Chain A
Amino acid sequence: MTPSATFHRSRPRPAVGRAPWALVIPAALGLAFLVLPLAGLLVRAPWSTLPSRLAEPHVLEALRLSLVTATIATAICILLGVPLAWVLARTSFPGRRVVRALVTVPLVLPPVVGGVALLLVLGRRGLVGQWLDSTFGITLPFTTAGVVVAEAFVAMPFLVISVEGALRAADPRYDEAAATLGAGRWTVFRRVTLPLVAPGIAAGAVLCWARALGEFGATITFAGNFPGQTQTMPLAVYLALETEPEAAIVLSLVLLAVSVIILASLRDRWVNSP
């Protein structure tokens, strides 16, 4: 018996075997690539002045605004995006491919251009904005609602794409089974389809929320930057970078820590629920 055979015998492997190096090495590199910039932030963070910087009212204000707007934007994305994903996944109509491609436009469009596009439509002199202003006296730019609109615009594709994927993966025969039991289309959607793709919606909502939280370009372009009104954390970070890079690092870390804590705690709840 060769020594190597003895060695293998003495260490029983799990049935599936060890992960191959061809996967482990790129995986480790990938992780390092994602995590090292974070380490950079941590190393350069001005720990001594951290507490006093955090106590500044505009930091908390921006953080609160970021969380509130990202959450509302996510809610809007779910409300509009889930039905859109359903239409894309479960119905067929001419031009569906084009519509699906259009859904990804905000992903491809530089966010700043997205912001300009929103201004052209919803701005005070925009196609729809003009009418909103004259009829209801509503102007979206430079308001917190405008921030929500910009974030929802940029983040919606993340939700639509992941929910559509979940719908395509879900067996449509469950819908048929429900129909044979007397359920109309809406009941089928509400009581069968929706619960079946709930994990996909949750995953999409997380992506959507994270994207909305980090949104910068469209927000500053469409909603502007005014503390307490439209200045979210990314905007505060960007402007802090102009004069005080250390403050920018602190703000980034705060944003990062809060989002990680929230996402991690949500994740646990979802994993534990059946």
Chain B
Amino acid sequence: MLRLLPRRAAAAMAIAALTVTTAACGGSSPDASPSAASTKTVTVFAAASLTGTFTEIGKAFEAGNPGTAVRFNFGSSATLAQQIVQGAPADVFAAASPATMKTVTDASLAAAPTTFTRNKLEIAVPSDNPAKVNGLADLAKPEVKVALCAEQVPCGAAAVKALEAAGVKITPVTLEQDVKATLTKVELGEVDAALVYRTDVIASGGKVKGIPFPEADKVINDYPIAALTKAPSGDLAQRFVDLVVSKQGTDVLTKAGFEAP
């Protein structure tokens, strides 16, 4: 039931502080690679929404490349991008939006990112759907409590665009810091509806019900991935990216509710 990942918020705050201090100290990049001589490690920074799928792909990668280990840092794409720009020793970056990837490519730390998957918004309602929500227009009713992601995070930006496209004006009760927090509010029944990704609805395992709506097609979220130019693990990084975009990787993603690009 605690799908909120409490550690994420704490980690994000800690990292935010770290980001600033390392910057002040001249941006020295600490070598965090723990690799013993025998094992080679690939460090993957990935958007939090990829937690389940990438863990699975990581296991497949380790199985297919004996002597390698995949280490993940899941978090908000924006935070991860900041960490990479501040010198975090990442090999691969998988972002939940082209905008956050741009932060990294602008700093010449990654070249030619590939869109490897896409995600679509859905209306999430508690499984008993107490407010009888059937479509985007229902969210505008004053008695319906709606949670959205904050506009600063990708799911929030997508929600704003979708609502604009539908010509619906709503007043949410809260603008959550990330999609998991938004989903938690629905799971606990604190709100009657929220706009989250289809993958999150599926990952909730039936605790919330997803209601697709046509305007979602206009704001499909592209997920770019790139091996970083300063990747400590060298070509192993590219091998991981290759696995993600392969059919094997795509299958894992599709199963979780993502759409092929």
Contact = CB atoms under 8 A, between A and B. Distances in A.
Contacts of B185: 141, 224
B16 A123 contact: no
Nearest to B16: A241
A255 to B, nearest CB: 14
Interface in A182-235: 216-217, 220-221, 223-227, 230-231, 235
B69 to A, nearest CB: 28
Interface string A47-64: 000000000000000000
A36 B25 CA distance: 9
A141 B190 CA distance: 7
Contacts of A41: 20
Interface stretch (B111-119, B145-153, B199-207, B231-239): B145-153
Contact of B184 (A142, A221, A235, A243): A221
A24 interface: no
B189 A123 contact: yes
B12 interface: yes
B2 interface: yes
Nearest to B18: A37
Interface string B1-34: 0101011011011001101110111000000000
Contacts of B20: 37, 40-41, 44, 245, 249
A248 interface: yes
A58 B133 CA distance: 31
B76 A242 contact: yes
Nearest to B1: A116
Interface residues of B, number: 37
A239 to B, nearest CB: 5
Size class of the contact patch on chain A: 35 or more
Given A44-B23, A225-B174, A242 B6 contact: no
Nearest to A45: B20
A220 B24 CA distance: 29
Interface string A18-48: 0000000000000000001101110110000
A40 B25 contact: yes
B68 interface: no
B177 interface: yes
B78 A125 contact: no
Contacts of A102: none
A100 interface: no
A131 interface: no
A207 B23 CA distance: 30
Contact of B23 (A40, A125, A230, A248): A40
B129 interface: no
A120 interface: yes
Interface string A101-126: 00000000011110010011001110
B190 A245 contact: no
A248 B177 contact: no
Contacts of B173: 141-142, 224, 226
Contacts of B21: 36-37, 40
Which 7 A-B residue pairs are closest in the complex by CB-CB distance?
A224-B174, A40-B24, A112-B6, A142-B173, A242-B152, A125-B189, A242-B78
Given A116-B184, A216-B9, A242-B79, 7 more contacts: A40-B20, A40-B21, A112-B4, A220-B181, A224-B174, A235-B177, A239-B175
Interface of A: 36-37, 39-41, 43-44, 110-113, 116, 119-120, 123-125, 141-142, 216-217, 220-221, 223-227, 230-231, 235, 238-243, 245, 248-249
